[in-house]
Each structure stands twice: as C-alpha cells, then as structure tokens.
C-alpha cells in the first residue's frame, strides 16, 4: 500500500512564475490537507479538501494561492506569480475519514525554491 506521494520533490522557480505541487493521497483516503513549513519553523495549516470540495482554506494566503482535489487525479496546490517568501517545504497529508482519532499520513514534501 503506497504512502502519500508528492511530486516534484524539489521545484525551482523564478520570481513571477507559477508553481504546481501535486499530492496523491493514500489509497482509500478522501481527505487531503496541505501544510507549509518555512525554514526553522513548524508546519502551518493551509487548506483542507475532500474530493471536489474545499472544506477549510482559513490558512491559505488570500492571493496567488489556490488548491483543488478533483474527482479523478491528485490534489494540486497552485501558487501563481511566486515570490521569494514562498520558498518553503510544502507537505500534503491524507486521512481516510473524519472518524475519531484518525491519523493524518504525511507525504515526503515538496521543497520549493524561488530564485
């Protein structure tokens, strides 16, 4: 049973370009979370999605950031017109449902570097 997969593992973009980060949850998992980890910091929640729905985007910057989790295919975190401050590690986590105590399983992260 493959774990949570994220790609690419490393992404380099120049200021003003777009970054697309992909996350494939574990098989049977329909809940996806995105977190951002700035250097020397803990992970910070960005957005929570179920298939075809954004449930909670309270941690997402209001501009340039968007997320989706289509019926088919991976979840995508999209950052438009990247700036140097977007450089961070972006982690995706998935869980099977919202049943009590369900663990979130993390992917290996995508490290975004903005030049």
Partner 1 sequence: AQTVTQSQPEMSVQEAETVTLSCTYDTSESDYYLFWYKQPPSRQMILVIRQEAYKQQNATENRFSVNFQKAAKSFSLKISDSQLGDAAMYFCAYRTPSGAGSYQLTFGKGTKLSVIP
Where on the chain is the footprint of partner 1 (CB under 8 A)? 33, 35, 40-45, 48, 55-56, 58-59, 89, 91, 93, 95, 98-104, 106, 108-109, 111
What would the two tokens of residue 16 be?
A: 């003003």
Output 80 or 102, the one with its CB closest to partner 1: 102
Least distance from partner 1 to the Cβ atom of residue 107, Å:
8
Residue 77: name the closest of 88, 91, 87, 58 by CA: 91
What would the two tokens of residue 59 be?
A: 């941690």
Least distance from partner 1 to the Cβ atom of residue 24, Å:
16
Least distance from partner 1 to the Cβ atom of residue 54, Å:
10
Q: Which residues contact 97 (CB under 8 A, 6 or more apart)?
A: 30, 31
Q: What is the DSSP string of 49-79?
A: EETTEEEE-TTS-SSSEEEE--SSS-EEEEE
Output 72 or 100, the one with its CB closest to partner 1: 100
Least distance from partner 1 to the Cβ atom of residue 108, Å:
5
Helix (H/G/I), strand (E/B), else coil: 86: helix
Output 15 or 98, the one with its CB closest to partner 1: 98
Output 2 or 14, the one with its CB closest to partner 1: 2
């Amino acid at each position: 049973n493959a774990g949570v997969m994220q790609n690419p593992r490393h992404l380099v973009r120049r200021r003003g370009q777009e970054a697309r980060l992909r996350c494939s949850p574990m098989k049977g998992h329909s809940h996806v979370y995105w977190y951002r980890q700035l250097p020397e910091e803990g992970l910070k929640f960005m957005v929570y999605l179920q298939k075809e729905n954004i449930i909670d985007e309270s941690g997402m910057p209001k501009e340039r950031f968007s997320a989706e989790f289509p019926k088919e295919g991976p979840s995508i975190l999209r950052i438009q017109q990247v700036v140097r401050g977007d450089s961070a590690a972006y982690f995706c986590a998935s869980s099977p449902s919202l049943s009590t105590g369900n663990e979130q399983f993390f992917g290996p992260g995508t490290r975004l570097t903005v030049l």
